[in-house]
Structure 1
Amino acid sequence: MNKTERQLAIILELQRNKVLKAEDLAVKLETSVRTIYRDIQALSEAGVPLIGTPGFGYTLIEGYFLPPVNFTVEEAVSLLIGADFIEQRFDNQYSQNARSSRAKIEAVLPEPIQNESERVRKNFRLRIHPLNPEIEDREKTHIETIRTAILNQKKIRFKYLKRIPEPDGNRETIRTVAPLGLVLVQGGWLLVANCDLREDRRHFLISRMSELTITNESFEMPDDFNLQEYRPPDDRKIQIRALFNINVADKVKESNIYYIENTELRSDGYYVNFRVREPEELLQWILSWGADVVILEPESFRIRVKEEIKKMLKHY
């Protein structure tokens, strides 16, 4: 990083973080504190309104912004593709903002950069696996409602359709939760929330929600919760081992199903070990492979697969 790039980075860091010490800037920019002092002095002499307070750090006078930044072709393409993604998968408000942002970015690009970025973008296509239009519209509406609830720290209530029925055969439950964050996982939106019913942290697929409303009950965001660092506990305890026809090994790999723990390709087939919470989670996926898969263990799951196949045969 040369002197000009470093001084620009200092301004951007101060705009982003409001207040930073010289030591913090030195760590972020991988340089010495003495160099940061020299850069701060040079920026001040150039008219950048910096304020330094001993023991507190440096800050920019409120209202100061950098003039328009010159984007490289790669930077422009990255921003425009990012806007395409947001337009497709976020709620309606952010979709509109993404379109507006894309138009503004394209408007300020110099003509040579604009032409070159357009040429590059013609060779890339962001094609996200489409949902059922009805589900997609409902999901976007739910995302907007949940986003509002998170910002206002209000609990939400909804009906939830579970993948696996309760012991009484009922799949639908009513939940009141404190929404903590939204995560896009394998093409579907997932809500991380503290559930009143289970008195624990739970995950909910947005596509399985209905009758979603914001309640008047407030909640406080847990001090120990950081969505960027959050890793859910792995409570998959049940082991399932299967043997796939060697001809479909590549397709099994490409399926990228979450439950696969490890695999082994042998001359007699493709051995796959799964780890699940409940065998039912894997049942329909296993059945989709037809005669190309055999369950090796446990015996209880082999019997469950046989039972389901017998039920299927009754329809033919």
Structure 2
Amino acid sequence: MNRIDRLSAILIQLQSKKVVRALEIAERFDISLRTVYRDIRALEEAGVPIGAEAGVGYFMMEGYNLPPVKFSKDEAGAILMATKLAEKQTDVSIRNNLNDALFKIRSALKVEEKDYLESIENNIEVIHSPQTINADFPNHFLADIQSALANKKVINFDYYSNYNDAFTNRDVEPMSLCYYSRNWHLVGYCRLRNDLRDFRSDRIMKLRVTETSFDPARHEDYKGYLDTIVRGTDLIEVNVRFDAKVSRYIQESRYFMGFIESEVHDDYVDMKFMTSDLNIFARWLLQFTTAAKVISPSLLEDKVIEFFQEGLAAYSQVEAK
């Protein structure tokens, strides 16, 4: 990127946030801090009103606006792909807001970019496993949770627990929204349990953002809690040997089972997984019959045999009738 393009990009970046640190600019363009300082000075000399706060960062003075932002074809294509992903992995509230935003973005595109998007739109698709929709869960709270996060407001909702098949009412100080295990999760301080908790968004009902504020600094350890949840504290290492011909067909599905690494040989592939549920893993392995062999742990091998024998017994009874 030449300097003129970089200066324009820095100007846009400065308008994207209330305050932008010099280090953020340096990392984005892979330049030194000294170069950042020179670029900021060049923008100031060109008449751009940039303010600076020592130890904090740069900001645009109130009242200054850039001309309408223009998109390249590649940028427009990237926006389209991001939209396709978001349509499959967010809830109704976010999808509605996203569609409104996309109309505005499209309206700002030149004819060439619009034609480019139309030419590829029908050929880009995100295939997503259909999920059963429960009418009891409205699935439209992500936008409200975002608002509560930004404004540091306590949220109140009814939460369904699988363990006891019941709802409890919670007042929660929201700390983070994160996507893992194919679901959006709210991590926050639960005032009912007096501790940090993880809530799946698709098990939330009757959510409302209250007027009660809270101080996020009281729960700075939530990132460690979140890391523990995502990584899992009770994961079990599993090692399986797959026939080479079969291994090529599980390149995608293995990641859903906690795949870590593999070692390829001539006729077979050894794969390592980390799982929290040997029962689920054993049932997954059954589909490969003799093409998969458990190396460790022995408990997993026992479970595969147990489930196979249960299935064999069930079918034997059907044949007997």
TM bracket, shorter-chain basis: 0.7 to 0.9
Contact 2:154 2:209 in 1 (8 A): no
Distance 1:54 1:268 in 2: 62
What residue in structure 2 maps to residue 110 of structure 1? Answer: 110
2:179 counterpart of 1:184: yes
Superposition map of 1:66-85 within 5 A: 66-85=66-85
SS of the equivalent of 2:45 reads helix
Distance 1:55 1:302 in 2: 58
Cα 1:125–1:271 change in 2 (3 A) is same
Deviation readout 1:125-146 (Å, 9 max, x if unpaired) = 1324042352599473353554
What residue in structure 2 maps to residue 296 of structure 1? Answer: 295
Using the TM superposition, give the Cα deviation of residue 110 of structure 1 relative to its aligned residue in structure 2, in angstroms: 1.7
Q: 1:37 aligns with which of 25, 36, 41?
A: 41
Using the TM superposition, give the Cα deviation of residue 100 of structure 1 relative to its aligned residue in structure 2, in angstroms: 1.8
Deviation readout 1:60-106 (Å, 9 max, x if unpaired) = 33233211122111111222332333344323232222222222222
Cα 1:206–1:56 change in 2 (3 A) is closer
Q: Which moved more, 1:214-223 or 1:99-108?
A: 214-223
Distance 1:137 1:131 in 2: 18
What residue in structure 1 maps to residue 318 of structure 2? Answer: none
Using the TM superposition, give the Cα deviation of residue 266 of structure 1 relative to its aligned residue in structure 2, in angstroms: 3.5
2:271 counterpart of 1:272: yes
Contact 1:73 1:116 in 2 (8 A): yes
What residue in structure 2 maps to residue 165 of structure 1? Answer: none
Q: Which moved more, 1:61-70 or 1:179-188?
A: 179-188
Superposition map of 1:117-132 within 5 A: 117-122=117-122, 124-132=123-131
Contact 2:51 2:60 in 1 (8 A): yes
Q: How many residues are paired up?
A: 302
Contact 1:246 1:269 in 2 (8 A): yes
Distance 1:185 1:136 in 2: 23
Distance 1:146 1:76 in 2: 28
What residue in structure 2 maps to residue 140 of structure 1? Answer: 139
Distance 1:39 1:224 in 2: 40
Contact 1:87 1:96 in 2 (8 A): no
Contact 1:146 1:156 in 2 (8 A): no
SS of the equivalent of 1:257 reads helix
Superposition map of 1:82-231 within 5 A: 82-122=82-122, 124-132=123-131, 134-135=133-134, 138=137, 140-144=139-143, 146-147=145-146, 150-151=149-150, 152-154=153-155, 156-161=157-162, 176=170, 178-185=173-180, 187-194=182-189, 201=196, 203-207=198-202, 209=203, 211=205, 213=207, 220-221=215-216, 222-225=219-222
Cα 1:235–1:199 change in 2 (3 A) is farther
What residue in structure 1 maps to residue 262 of structure 2? Answer: 263
Q: Which moved more, 1:186-195 or 1:296-305?
A: 186-195
Cα 1:275–1:214 change in 2 (3 A) is same
SS of the equivalent of 1:16 reads coil
Distance 1:245 1:198 in 2: 48
Contact 1:106 1:114 in 2 (8 A): yes
CA RMSD of aligned residues (A): 4.0
Deviation readout 1:243-287 (Å, 9 max, x if unpaired) = 333321112332123423333333553333333334234233223
SS of the equivalent of 1:244 reads strand
Amino acid paired to 2:291? D
Deviation readout 1:217-253 (Å, 9 max, x if unpaired) = 87543235469x9574542453333333332111233
Contact 1:155 1:219 in 2 (8 A): no
Contact 1:190 1:204 in 2 (8 A): yes
Distance 2:57 2:162 in 1: 52
What is the TM-score when the length of structure 2 is the normalising length? Answer: 0.73
2:284 counterpart of 1:285: yes
SS of the equivalent of 1:140 reads coil
Cα 1:195–1:249 change in 2 (3 A) is farther
Distance 1:23 1:263 in 2: 38
What is the TM-score when the length of structure 1 is the normalising length? Answer: 0.74
Contact 2:138 2:205 in 1 (8 A): no
Gaps of 5+ in 2: 316-321
Amino acid paired to 2:252? E
Contact 1:154 1:219 in 2 (8 A): no
Among all aligned residue pairs of Structure 1 and Structure 2, give the percentage whose two residues are the same amino acid.
Answer: 25
Gaps of 5+ in 1: 163-169
